[in-house]
Amino acid sequence: MKKGIIVIIVIAVVAILGYMLFAGRYNTAVTIQEEAKTAWSNVESAYQRRNDLIGNLVKTVQGAADFERSTLKEVIDARAKATSVTVDPTNITPEQLNQFQQAQSGLSSALSRLLVTVERYPDLKANQNFLNLQSQLEGTENRINVERNRYNEKVGEFNIYIRRFPNNFILGMFGDFDEMARFKADEGAEKAPDVEFDFK
């Protein structure tokens, strides 16, 4: 009788330890992975806010009848391209992230050219709607940077967790957890831009 109780206790302890070892690590990995996906959703939300603001900015600029149409077309085309590139948050690959980042960089570049061109239109520069949208865009760019950093932190936490021993061994048995891709700086971003002032 006593042997039977001891065997049951040993089996129960082994089962509890096995559950804690496997289920605990699996559940933690799921939690961190979901937090990283949520962080990615926040990145997309910040970019969506920028796209919405750009649409309003373009409409405001279009009101200036003599404004350069080619510059506006570049922004409209870049915005369309940026919104067409989507990333599956359940399987963010470096290739998908790179494609997304290139589309967003193209939009940033077109937007910068638009804002530089606006400098030649004093009436547009004084337009309160334009000034408000420009200010909101600047705030949104900061928000995008914050959200990308938060995403990278969560991805780093997840990648470290799944690679540590014994997690890598235990989680590898399930096959559900691959490393997630991080945002990287655009190529050449480490170089300071040349700034030239024309005082003529």
Does residue 125 sit within a domain? Answer: yes
Return the CATH number at 93: 1.20.1440.20
Question: Mean of the pLDDT values across residues 44-58?
Answer: 90
CA distance 84 to 111: 17
Does residue 45 sit within a domain? Answer: yes
- Whether omega before 166 lies within 30 degrees of 0, making that bond cis, reads yes
Does residue 72 sit within a domain? Answer: yes
Does residue 106 sit within a domain? Answer: yes
Q: What is the pLDDT of residue 66?
A: 63
How far CA 45 is from CA of 8, 52, 166, 187, in Å, comes to 53, 10, 36, 24
Domain that holds residue 77: 2-172
How far CA 109 is from CA of 93, 125, 138, 158, 182, in Å, comes to 24, 20, 14, 32, 22
Does residue 180 sit within a domain? Answer: no
Confidence label for 63 from pLDDT (cuts 50, 70 and 90) = confident
Does residue 183 sit within a domain? Answer: no
Q: What is the pLDDT of residue 200?
A: 38
Checking if the pLDDT of 151 tops 90, the result is yes
The helix (H) or strand (E) run that includes residue 160 is helix 128-163
Checking if the pLDDT of 87 tops 60, the result is yes
Geometric angle at alpha carbon 178, from 23 and 20, rounded to 5°: 10
Confidence label for 91 from pLDDT (cuts 50, 70 and 90) = confident
Q: Are 89 and 40 in contact (CB under 8 A)?
A: yes
Q: What is the pLDDT of residue 187?
A: 65
Q: Which of 35-49, 53-67, 74-88 has the lowest mean pLDDT?
A: 53-67
Does residue 41 sit within a domain? Answer: yes
How many domains does the chain fold into? Answer: 1
The phi and psi torsions of 50 (rounded to 5 degrees) equal: -65, -45
Does residue 97 sit within a domain? Answer: yes
Confidence label for 188 from pLDDT (cuts 50, 70 and 90) = low
pTM: 0.77
- State pLDDT tens for residues 107-132: 999 988 888 888 888 877 778 888 88
SS3 (DSSP) at 186: coil
Checking if the pLDDT of 42 tops 90, the result is yes
Closest CA to 170 of 23, 6, 16, 7: 23
Q: Are 152 and 132 in contact (CB under 8 A)?
A: no
Checking if the pLDDT of 199 tops 80, the result is no
| Residue type for position 167 | N
Q: What is the pLDDT of residue 198?
A: 41
